[in-house]
Amino acid sequence: MKVSDIATRKARSCDTGTNLAAAAWIMWENDCGIVPVVDRANKVIGLLTDRDICMAVATRRALASDITAGDVISGKVYSCRLADDVRAALRTMAEHAVRRLPVVNEGGELQGVLSLSDVVLAARDPRQAREGDPTWAEVMQALAAVSRPRQLVKEERPKLVIASGR
C-alpha cells in the first residue's frame, strides 16, 4: 500500500506569519491536529500541532493571536512521499515519535498529510492483508513508540510565565 492510497491530499497549511489563533481555526475547520508551515514556494519548513498552540499560549504572556507559527515551530520536519510504502512511513513515525507526517514531493513541496489515524483505518488483520498492507501489529508497534513519554532536556522545556493578578 502506498502513502498516496490513504493520505489526506488537500491539507491546509499556513506560513510563519500566521498567528496561532488563525492556525487553530484551520485545525477546527478541517478536523485535524496539525498544520504544515510552508514558505512562499510551498516547501514545508515546520509543523504546528494543537499541542504546540496550547503549550505556547500556556507558557507565554500573550494571546494566541499575538504569537506566530514562526515563534513556535522547531524546524525539525520528518516527511514522506506519495510513492512511499505506508509501512516505511509508519516506521518513520515510530522512529521519531510523531503521529503525522507531511507528504512532500522531491522539492519538499507540500502534497498532503499522512496521519497515524489514516494508517490505523487502513490496517488489516494479517490473515486478510494483501502484500504491502499495514497490519494491526505494525500499527500497534508504531502507536506504542509514539505514545512513550519523551524525556525533555532542560533547554527544551518552555519557560513558564505566570501572569500576576494585578
Over residues 28-40, the pLDDT tens digits come to 999 999 999 999 9
Nearest to 64 by CA among 101, 12, 27: 27
Query: How far apart, in whole angstroms, are the C-alpha atoms of residue 97 and residue 33?
Result: 15
Q: Is residue 41 within 8 Å of residue 55, measured between CB atoms?
A: no
Q: What percent of the chain has pLDDT over 90?
A: 70
Instruction: Taking the CA atoms of 35, 39, 41 and 47 in sequence, report the sign of the dihedral they define.
Output: negative
**Most confidently predicted of 111-115, 116-120, 145-149:** 111-115
Residue with cell 499522512: 114
Q: How confident is the model at residue 158 (pLDDT cuts 50, 70, 90)?
A: low
CATH of 3-149, one of 3.10.580.10, 3.40.50.300, 3.30.530.20, 2.130.10.10: 3.10.580.10
166 or 65: which leads in pLDDT: 65
The residue-averaged pLDDT of 121-129 equals: 78
Domain ranges of the chain: 3-149
Nearest to 72 by CA among 17, 117, 120, 125: 17
* Structural element, H or E, at residue 100: strand 100-104
The residue-averaged pLDDT of 62-89 equals: 94
110 or 133: which leads in pLDDT: 110
C-alpha cell at 117: 489515524
